[in-house]
Structure 1
């Protein structure tokens, strides 16, 4: 599911601005600080051309891949980061864990069950 980075469409300008603002602050990433489990049975589709998947629920956390527009991802749960933004831990169609994705990049705003 990894695709080359592309410019985000105009509709994701606000979401990109929020994620970029998070990049400027010191953040905590990783599963030790942001534990998750498979609590949500939902799924959704990515709405931007290429949505980054991170090791933590911040744009500044390490990017481990990306998911292309229109791809269905499956939800484990969501968290609210220190900026008040929600992020969902996602899996692919084979059940493999992928990482955290910013909920504004999902057609239904992500998981409905908290971690």
Structure 2
């Protein structure tokens, strides 16, 4: 029964129960061991509320995720020094801030950990 329920939830959207792997290296420690990681737009809706922008500040590029957790699927990487535009930010279950970014003049892309944005990311919450 548990396996069926887990598969059904995964079919709707990715839901993982994980420990410290849910945030990138250097992220704040988890406030509790039982944080549930949820990924995808159904769990983390976002709209273009922030007119800010910034630059990726990570020498090997910043991974872009389907949700505001390091454990969420990576959909791409944005290279160091590339400018991005912000839509809004969310705070995950570990207390870490992530910004939904889009390429300059382009469409929405995904969630980037705020520590990888030169100015700390979006200032308007989703």
For Structure 1 versus Structure 2, the TM-score category normalised by the shorter chain is 0.7 to 0.9
- How do residues 18-57 of structure 1 correspond to structure 2 at under 5 angstroms? 18=27, 26-49=36-59, 50-57=61-68
Q: Provide Cα deviations, 1:39-92, integer angstroms capped at 9, x if missing partner.
A: 000000011021000000000000000000000000000000000000000000
The higher-RCO structure (CA 8 Å, 6+ apart) is: 1
- TM-score when scaled to structure 1? 0.79
How many residue pairs match? The answer is 98
CA distance in 2, matches of 1:99, 1:72: 14
Question: Gaps (5+ residues) in structure 1?
Answer: 1-14
* Unpaired stretches in structure 2, ≥5 consecutive residues: 1-23
Name the TM-score, length of structure 2 as normaliser: 0.73
Distance between the aligned counterparts of 2:79 and 2:91, measured in 1?
A: 23
Larger radius of gyration: 2
Query: 1:95 Cα deviation (Å)?
Result: 2.5
Shift of 1:26: 4.6
